[in-house]
């Protein structure tokens, strides 16, 4: 490296190596992906794979970028999909991943709200007076009522 701190990507520490850490120069990325460096430049211009840039504008590829390059190659060569189609596939996959992440966030928020609601319900039940007993009237389907006229009292 040139002594400068690597750029942070995705909120990670600059010294923590992850799949998102941009560490590979274009020649190494080309070798790892099995593609020509000029192909990688073309993919970058088309927006298929967008590596990070150094301060001097050099490309730095991450392990995830290398995997994406391999996926683009597989879709292009094995499946016969043109680059515009591949770009759309990648965009849709990214959109699906973002939506799945949002659904997970909403489910977690919903679980938190449900737990809070259960706690409030438990607090309300705990505050009930125990000397009061709930009464529920039971309805009878048939009843016998005897009617007797009042006797008239004689004066």
Chain segment 92-117, per-residue pLDDT in tens: 999 999 999 999 999 999 999 999 99
- Average of per-residue pLDDT values in the chain: 84
Task: State how far the Cα of 72 lies from the Cα of 69, in Å rounded to an integer.
Answer: 5
Residue 49 and residue 69 in contact, taking contact as beta carbons nearer than 8 Å: yes
C-alpha 102: how far from chain center: 4
Overall average pLDDT of the 62-89 stretch: 93
Kindly report whether the global pTM for this prediction surpasses the value 0.85.
no
Residue 80 and residue 72 in contact, taking contact as beta carbons nearer than 8 Å: no
Q: Poorest-confidence range of 74-88, 103-117, 124-138?
A: 124-138
Chain segment 4-56, per-residue pLDDT in tens: 444 454 555 567 788 888 888 999 999 999 999 999 999 999 999 989 888 88
Domain ranges of the chain: 1-81
What was the pLDDT predicted at 3? 42
Angle at 153 between CA 151 and CA 154, to 5 degrees: 135
Class of domain 1-81: mainly alpha
């Amino acid at each position: 490296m040139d002594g400068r701190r690597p750029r942070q990507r995705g909120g990670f520490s600059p010294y923590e190596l992850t799949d998102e850490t941009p560490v590979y120069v274009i020649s190494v990325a080309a070798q790892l992906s099995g593609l020509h460096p000029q192909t990688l430049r073309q993919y970058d211009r088309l927006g298929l794979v967008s590596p990070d840039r150094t301060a001097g504008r050099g490309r730095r590829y991450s392990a995830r970028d290398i995997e994406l390059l391999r996926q683009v190659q597989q879709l292009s060569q094995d499946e016969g999909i043109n680059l515009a189609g591949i770009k759309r596939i990648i965009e849709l996959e990214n959109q699906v991943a973002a939506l799945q992440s949002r659904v997970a966030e909403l489910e977690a928020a919903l679980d938190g709200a449900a737990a809070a609601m259960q706690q409030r319900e438990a607090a309300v039940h705990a505050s009930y007076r125990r000397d009061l007993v709930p009464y529920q009237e039971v309805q009878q389907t048939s009843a016998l009522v005897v009617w007797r006229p009042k006797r008239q009292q004689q004066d």
